[in-house]
Amino acid sequence: MKRRLLLLMAPLLMAQSGAKPVLVPDVSQRNIEIVYSFTGAELLLFGAILYPGGRLPKGEAPTDIVVVVKGPTQSILVREKEKVAGIWVNAARLRYRSAPSFYAVASSRPIERIVDERTRAIYELGLGSLQLSPASSATSDVERRFQAGLVDLKRRAGLYVEAPGAVEITDGVLYRGRVSIPARVPVGRFTAETFLIRDGRVLAAAVRDIDIRKSGFERFVARAADRSSVLYGLVAVALSVALGWIAGQVARRRA
Amino acid sequence: MDLYLPIANLSVNALVIVGLGLGVGLLSGMFGVGGGFLTTPLLIVYGIPPTVAAASSASQVTGASVSGVFAHIRRGGVDFKMGGVLVAGGIIGSLFGAWLFRLLQELGQIDTVIAVVYVVMLGSIGGMMAREASGAILQRHRGLPPKPRKRRHHPLVAALPLRTRFYASGLYISPLAPLLLGFATGILTILLGIGGGFILVPAMIYLLGMATSVVVGTSLFQTLFVTAAATMVHATTTKAVDIVLAGLLLIGSVTGAQLGARFAGRVRPEYLRLALAIIVLLVGLRIFLGLVWRPEEIFSIELA
């Protein structure tokens, strides 16, 4: 850790004048293992802001930190219900090639007050600025409606999260933010991006990867279901028959 | 007590799932229905993905029916010949159902079709049972001797060729009738994730005219084999059978089934039928309201 810090600081020490501040981010967990007791994880994203010269610049606007955690992207189909002949049925639909399965943004202040709309769109900061490219063409009106529907649904499932004020900056140099990951996230590679922002401009950005995977029994079951599905099905049936039979025997003996 | 489900990819309260299984098991022991028509919707309400719910509740129904089948065999309440024909029809039906399921899924109308089928089935069968059972109860209260039930099969059934004797059921009918009945139930097993007992039992009584003493046992016998086949179909195609979820449901339901079977012996059958009719009608009404009321979620997401 210390050595990495030094390494990161080296170029700074060499060219101090006019240099931008540098971010040294880290996450509390690089690997999240899903075991039987997994009910979600609390991710701590923390780090330091290194200013040129090692001093806080005076007289400048305060810096802000925005942290974005993204899950692996998925191709999804969004359907909209409509009332047809008295009953609600799926009617219109829109396919998205790559929507993040999980998206959480934590910031030191509400994002709208940190950056303008254009910057938010470039860096995909905030739920309103997600760039979900629809696979089929639709009018921008329809597109907006579907995107709002998708984001709303995901947000209520706890998979899209906006947490303004969840990042704390101490003495202008140390920051820490919390993002909770619900149990129903898909497994895969997550990224934690950290942005250092001042005066509406992104001064520095850094990315850390987080691997979420099943381990132990959960991994064994998921693999078995996928790779030896016939055997898995037979085991499931055998388990049901055995449990049912045992219960019958127990009840009979008592009766 | 939270537990992570490896296939459903989420964590659930294990006690809630066991309790759900227990309640459904009680019903299955009492009425000889698998209880899938309750498990699947309840699991979906709890937040389990629909495919996983249907696939895993099929294996739960298998377990719940095992002890019932054994109990009925000991009492001589299973017509094996009739059961065999129903199972054959059921397996063909479940394969056809799997094809139909995929087709409807591609059209995006699977949810609506499932709901509409549920409403039609539950409404008509529940109504029929409620009328019959309340009639029987009224007669008992008026002190009239119970009307000797005319154990007659439907004229259409009598018209089918290749008649054969089903001794335990006391019938001389064509095996095509139970084969078709099994086929229809098999489709429903895959489509709705149900055992089909609540269709089979009334159909056996009112359409085939089977002897009541073997109806429940034979229905459970068919349910046992067809849900086992459905579990295999799901395990190899949708890969959505969650063995942990199924195990939790089983622990509850096998216990409930035993309690239910014991309780059933003490209550008059027409009261049982009326109670089942009311449950069936309530579930049907709930699903009907879901269809016509503006849904909470206008949008739905599906991995593509």
The domain locations on chain A are: 2-213, 215-255
According to DSSP, the β-strands at B2-5 and A103-107 are: unpaired
Query: What is the number of other CB atoms lying within 10 angstroms of the CB of residue A237?
Result: 23
What is the arithmetic mean of pLDDT over A232-241?
Answer: 91
Q: What is the per-residue pLDDT for A10?
A: 45
Which residues pair with residue A211 across a beta bridge?
A31, A189
Measured CA to CA, the distance from residue B103 to residue B222 in angstroms comes to 26
Cβ-Cβ contacts under 8 Å, A33 against chain B: none
Matching CATH number, A2-213, of 3.30.450.20, 2.60.40.1930, 1.10.3720.10, 3.40.50.2000 = 2.60.40.1930
Measured CA to CA, the distance from residue A126 to residue A153 in angstroms comes to 16
Cβ-Cβ contacts under 8 Å, B302 against chain A: 76-79
Q: Which residues in chain B (209-268) have CB-CB distances under 8 A to chain A?
A: 228, 231-232, 234-236, 239, 241, 243-244, 246-247, 250-251, 254-255, 257-258, 261-262
Measured CA to CA, the distance from residue B110 to residue B257 in angstroms comes to 31
What's the number of CA atoms in the CB half-sphere (13 Å) around residue A197? 25
Distance of CA B17 to the CA centre of its chain: 19
Measured CA to CA, the distance from residue A194 to residue A205 in angstroms comes to 6
Contact B9 A184 (CB under 8 A): yes
Measured CA to CA, the distance from residue B163 to residue B149 in angstroms comes to 23
Whether residue A254 is predicted with pLDDT greater than 70 in this model: the reply is no
Whether residue B44 is predicted with pLDDT greater than 60 in this model: the reply is yes
Nearest by CB to A237, which of B7, B232, B258? B232
Q: What is the per-residue pLDDT for A72?
A: 92
pLDDT in tens, B56-80: 888 888 887 887 788 788 877 788 8
Cβ-Cβ contacts under 8 Å, A228 against chain B: none
Measured CA to CA, the distance from residue A114 to residue A64 in angstroms comes to 7
Residue B112 sits at the chain A interface (C-beta within 8 Å): yes
Read off the pTM: 0.76
> Cα(first)–Cα(last) distance of chain A, in Å?
67
How confident is the prediction for chain B on average, in pLDDT? 81
Angle at B29 between CA B24 and CA B33, to 5 degrees: 70
Measured CA to CA, the distance from residue B118 to residue B125 in angstroms comes to 10
Q: What is the per-residue pLDDT for A86?
A: 81
Which residues pair with residue A169 across a beta bridge?
A175
Whether residue A1 is predicted with pLDDT greater than 70 in this model: the reply is no
Kindly list the domain boundaries of chain B, sorted by start residue: 2-292
According to DSSP, the β-strands at A40-50 and B164-166 are: unpaired
pLDDT in tens, A35-85: 888 888 899 999 998 887 777 777 677 788 999 999 999 888 888 888 888
Measured CA to CA, the distance from residue B197 to residue B25 in angstroms comes to 13
